[in-house]
Structure formats: structure tokens, C-alpha cells
Amino acid sequence: MAAREPRIREIDELRRLLEPLVLRFNRPDFIADDPISIPHRFTRKQDIEIAGLWTAVLSWGRRKTICDKALQLMEWMDFAPWQFVCNHTEADRKPFSRFVHRTFNGEDANCFLDYFKSYYSGCNSLESLFQEPRASANAQAGGQSDIGNGLVRLRADFEQRVPHAGHALKHLSTPASGSRCKRLLMFLRWMVRRDDAGVDFGIWRSLDPACLLMPLDVHVERSARELGMLRRKQNDWKAVLELSETCRRLDPLDPVRYDFALFGLGLDAIGSAPRPSIVIHRKSRPGK
């Protein structure tokens, strides 16, 4: 027997708990210390995409370090990413060869430059990689959502345009391997979610925010498990789909808004605060 879904009463209790946290963290002053502050330096769609994808790919470790490293890349591109990737010379690329952040190295940085130059020479926006088939919150086949299919296409397109990518492909995770793809799902939240609070951009209008999936980072995962919103033990793509479906029951039109609430609950800064008392109790499968 499969685990039952949360009852309506439990969903209502979760919503009452999480809504104040969404309002607390989904606000402009959240931007300053978050990686999303890097693409917020730009207004041109292509600049936001390039800064956003590169920053998201670098997003592991301390947030200040992530922002500093992404800002360094923007400085090398003269704070005009789209113009730079389309028009740079070999001499312009030299600083990128010495870039290092965790396992992301100079060779990877140059591969990303190659990809951006190839892509934007013939395409106007990365959005097109996610447009066919059109993303739908209800369309899933074999555990793969349309958002997941778009992530697979992004990696395949990168590999096709940059045959020498090698190690750089490691930074473009794919649900085809079961990865939770947390950094790329965060990037998609930035691009797709239409946010009146001014945090997310919502510049990809052809995708429905209802189709977005939750970025499952350590803070979100910890909070979701404490609240009983996530039952699957592995932190993988199936766990992403499970948590996203629960969040979709809370808000069918904007499920990933609860990323802010669950992230906030999991932060060490409020770890000493009283923990929420509600826990969704799910029946186990026989033998579990």
C-alpha cells in the first residue's frame, strides 16, 4: 500500500504554519545576502539568464563566497554578460582560466563561455530549451516532469555545442541520473516564478509557475522531513517530485513559494526557535 497523501486538515495546518514564513523570507531584503543578488544587478533578459545560470551553478558552500565568486565573473565580463559572451576575444578569456570555486575550475569556466557564445549566436533566450513540450504541472511520465525534460535538453544541448566539455558537464545535473538538480531548479525558480515581492524575476513567460519543482537543498530537506512533507529517504529526483506535489497541494498555482518558508525553517539562525508542532503522519508500506 502506498503512503497516503496528507489529509485536507493537515494541509490547512501546514498552510497556516508556512504562509507567515513565506511573507518573512520572500521579500526584497532577502536578496542582499543571497546568490540571486547577482542577476538582480541586470535588467536585460539575456544578462539575467547568463548571470543567473552561472551563479546557480556555483551555488554550493557559503552564500557570501558564492556571491563573491559570481561577482568576480561578472566583473571579468564588464558587467555586460550577453555582450561579452557574444563578442569576447581570446585575450578577454584569459582571466577565466584561473577561476576556481570548489570543483568548478578555469577549464569549466571557458567551456561555459563557449556554450553561451554558441547558444546566443543563434538563439535569443535559454527559455526556448524548456518550451517544447510546453511545461505542464500535470504532465509526468515515468517519474519525469516536463521541467525535468527541459533540464535533460539543457545538458544535451551543452554537450552538443561544447564537445570538449568533459568535466564541465558535471555542473549541469540531470534527472536522467536521478539527481535532485537543486541548483538548476533554483535557477528555474528565478526565471519562471512571477513574484510580486520582487525577489524572483518571472521573465520566462511561456512556462507556467505551477510546473516548477522544489530545489531540495539541505535546509529545505530538513524542514520538509520534520514536517512530514517528505517521506522518501533518498535525496534524489523522486524526492523532489514528492515534495513538489505536497507543495502543489498547498498552492497549485505557485508551489515553489514554499521554498522560502522551508529554507527559512532550516536555517541555523532560527534553529533555536520553537519547532513547529504539526507533523503529517503517513502510513508505512507493509514491511517498512
Q: What was the pLDDT predicted at 175?
A: 96
H/E run at residue 286 = none
DSSP reduced 3-state for 282? coil
Report residues of the chain scoring pLDDT below 70: 1-9, 132-144, 268-288
Nine cell digits for residue 141: 511520465
Q: What was the pLDDT predicted at 271?
A: 47
Q: What was the pLDDT predicted at 5?
A: 59
Q: State the CB neighbour count (10 A cutoff) for residue 98.
A: 9
Nearest 5°: phi and psi at 140?
-140, 140
Q: What was the pLDDT predicted at 53?
A: 99
| Whole-structure pTM value | 0.88
Nearest 5°: phi and psi at 105?
-115, -175
How do the domains of the chain map onto residue ranges? Answer: 1-30+214-288, 31-211
DSSP reduced 3-state for 104? strand
- In sequence order, the β-bridge partners of residue 101 are 104
Nine cell digits for residue 88: 569576447
Task: Enumerate the H helices of the chain as residue ranges.
Answer: 8-25, 45-57, 63-76, 81-87, 90-93, 106-120, 146-161, 182-192, 218-226, 237-250, 258-266
